[in-house]
Amino acid sequence: MNTQLSSPVSLTVAKFGGTSVADYLAMDRCADIVLADPSVRIVVVSASSGVTNLLVSLSSGISDGAKRLELLGQIAEIQYQILDALGRPAEVAAALDLLLTEMDKHSAQLAQQPQDPRRVDALLALGEQCSSLLFAELLRQRGEPARSRDVREVMRTDSHHGRAEPQLQELAQLAKGCWGAALEAERIVTQGFIGADSEGHTTTLGRGGSDFSAALLAEALGADSLAIWTDVDGIYSCDPRLVTGARPIPELSFDEAAEMATFGAKVLHPATILPAVRSGCAVFVGCSRAPEMGGTWIRNRTELTPVFRALSLRRNQTLMTVHSLNMLHAQGFLAELFAILARHRISVDLITTSEVSVALTLDSTGSDSGGRELLTPALLEELGQMCRVEVESGLALVAVIGNRIANTAGIGKRVFEVIEQHNVRMICQGASPHNLCFLVDGQEVDGVVRQLHNRLLETQ
Ligand code: ADP
Ligand code: ASP
Ligand code: MG
């Protein structure tokens, strides 16, 4: 047993994303990170890069048998390469074969009977089960007591397949009860993204949900810190794949990080920050390929609080405008509208109102694990009964993120003079001191973001 653990020590939950566990060498670098820090007792892994996308394709119900087998073959190849590098230990090979057989079984059933959400989740969840099995073996081969534990023992959710909601009290009780004592003796390697409802059916938390899983486990176990290891050395002032001048931000407040994640900084799943805020757990984001580069610390307070900190963007936004004369001098219209949206589990991002209309933005594909459309015909029909609905798609949402944005004079001028040649379809500001958001044509958004980044964040 690690002697450093006999007195209360700090607890870190470390999460490794898909590219970090893509192959044996990538996993081995993650093992270096885990072994270098005795406080890392829980390791949460995503599926190896590409596997969840392949499972999503299979989940749509592929009736062409040859195509289905080809996709299954691609998944098997990714996993077997890692298994081979581990020397094919018999027990792990047998467990992996069982998981691959399950993939075959579920995908064949979905080809017969597509759109079975329970089975879709059972299929999607298998990617994380493979990677956690392999990563635990790698840690053991490096001489570390480690075990792969099924997160469904503790990650209790509701039964909303594809976008399940965690049940926090049960999760906390189960995590402490089932895993609390084991943490001292061995590192626990477990799955992100997946959970189970009260009847034991497998659920998933939505695409990119492993960050959220790790934050929930950190909260449930009272961890001191949560480390998100990914393919970038921290959270940047904008997506570095889009803006070459983007720079890593050493320190961010919870508020700023939450705004960035909500408005499209893919590096963190939008729900990750809330459990950390609730439990006061500091969050670190770093690169598993180059941990020595450092990364971003997200905490309650930061030393610097610049007005402009970062830009985020979300593509594929839909603007829905509802018109009704019933809004004129009436009460309760918005309540009715939001009740309908809530029944269809739609969360609204931006909203503006006029005398007889309300405009709101939605992600055209939600964060549902299977990528299903949120704006369904059933929703449009229900809304159509109370108002006239117009839908515009192909838009993009840009968020300017920082501090005191709502209380600093001249912000609007500085932002909009940079992009004055572009048509701004909607503007939202004032609800939070940390953001100013607007919608532009999706075709123009890359240029808009690059210009804004250059003027607001590179020439300060
Ligand atoms: P993982 O598989 O580790 O969860 P993701 O692909 O989900 O990794 O997130 C990492 C990616 O997020 C980066 O490669 C980067 O392109 C993208 N990204 C978007 N916005 C930002 C940002 N502001 N800072 C850093 N990365 C960002
Ligand atoms: N494997 C899941 C996905 O690709 C969850 C994650 O990686 O966070 O969406
Ligand atoms: Mg991610």
CA 206 to ligand 2: nearest atom: 9
Same CATH topology for 9-231 and 309-457: the answer is: no
CB proximity list for 84: less than 8 A, separation 6 or greater: none
CB proximity list for 424: less than 8 A, separation 6 or greater: 416, 438, 439, 440
Cβ of 204 less than 6 Å from ligand 2: no
Closest to 132 measured CA to CA, from 37, 27, 268:
27
User: Which tokens sit at 62?
Assistant: 């592929």
Closest to 266 measured CA to CA, from 307, 290, 235:
235
Identify whether the C-beta of residue 184 lies closer than 8 Å to the C-beta of residue 3. no
CA atoms within 13 A on the CB side of 161: 18
Please provide residue 387's backbone torsions phi and psi, each rounded to the nearest 5 degrees. Answer: -165, 170
Q: Which ligand is nearest to the CA of 20?
A: 1
Cβ of 48 less than 6 Å from ligand 1: no
Cβ of 232 less than 6 Å from ligand 1: yes
Cβ of 18 less than 6 Å from ligand 1: yes
Distance CA 316, CA 338 (A): 22
**What pLDDT is attached to residue 329?**
66
Q: Is 300 exposed, middle or buried (0-12, 13-18, 19+ CB in 10 A)?
A: exposed
Question: Identity (one letter) of the amino acid at 15?
Answer: K
Closest to 397 measured CA to CA, from 372, 421, 425, 369:
425
User: Which tokens sit at 178?
Assistant: 């089932």
Residue ranges of E strands in 278-339: 282-287, 295-299, 308-323
**What pLDDT is attached to residue 354?**
85
* Radius of gyration from C-alpha coordinates of the chain: 23
CB proximity list for 307: less than 8 A, separation 6 or greater: 402, 403, 404, 405, 408, 411
> How would you classify residue 427: left for phi > 0, otherwise alpha for psi between -120 and 50, otherwise beta?
beta
Domain at 9-231, CATH homologous superfamily: Acetylglutamate kinase-like (3.40.1160.10)
Identify whether the C-beta of residue 212 lies closer than 8 Å to the C-beta of residue 224. no
CA 244 to chain centre: 24
Residues in the chain: 460
**What pLDDT is attached to residue 364?**
62
Domain at 309-457, CATH homologous superfamily: VC0802-like (3.30.2130.10)
Identify whether the C-beta of residue 226 lies closer than 8 Å to the C-beta of residue 282. yes
CA atoms within 13 A on the CB side of 133: 23
Cβ atoms within 10 A of the Cβ of 154, count?
A: 25
Provide the residue ranges of all domains of the chain, joining segments of one domain with +.
9-231, 309-457
> pTM for the whole thing?
0.93
CB proximity list for 170: less than 8 A, separation 6 or greater: 156, 198
> How many angstroms is it from 155 CA to the middle of ligand 1?
25
Distance CA 94, CA 456 (A): 55
Please provide residue 392's backbone torsions phi and psi, each rounded to the nearest 5 degrees. Answer: -120, 130
> How many angstroms is it from 231 CA to the middle of ligand 1?
7
Pocket probe for ligand 2: among 193, 202, 211, 216, the residue whose CB has the most ligand atoms within 8 Å is: 193
> How many angstroms is it from 430 CA to the middle of ligand 2?
33
Task: Report DSSP state, residue 293.
Answer: G
Please provide residue 365's backbone torsions phi and psi, each rounded to the nearest 5 degrees. Answer: -110, 135
List the pLDDT tens digit at each of the 460 positions of the chain: 333 333 446 899 999 999 999 999 999 999 999 999 999 999 999 999 999 999 999 999 999 999 999 999 999 999 999 999 999 999 999 999 999 999 999 999 999 998 899 999 999 999 999 999 999 999 999 999 999 999 999 999 999 999 999 999 999 999 999 998 888 889 999 999 999 999 999 999 999 999 999 999 999 999 999 999 999 999 999 999 999 999 999 999 999 999 999 998 999 999 999 999 999 999 999 999 999 999 999 999 999 999 999 999 999 898 999 888 776 666 788 888 889 988 888 878 889 988 888 899 987 655 677 766 677 888 889 988 888 999 998 999 999 999 999 999 999 999 999 989 999 999 998 888 999 999 999 999 999 999 999 999 997 5
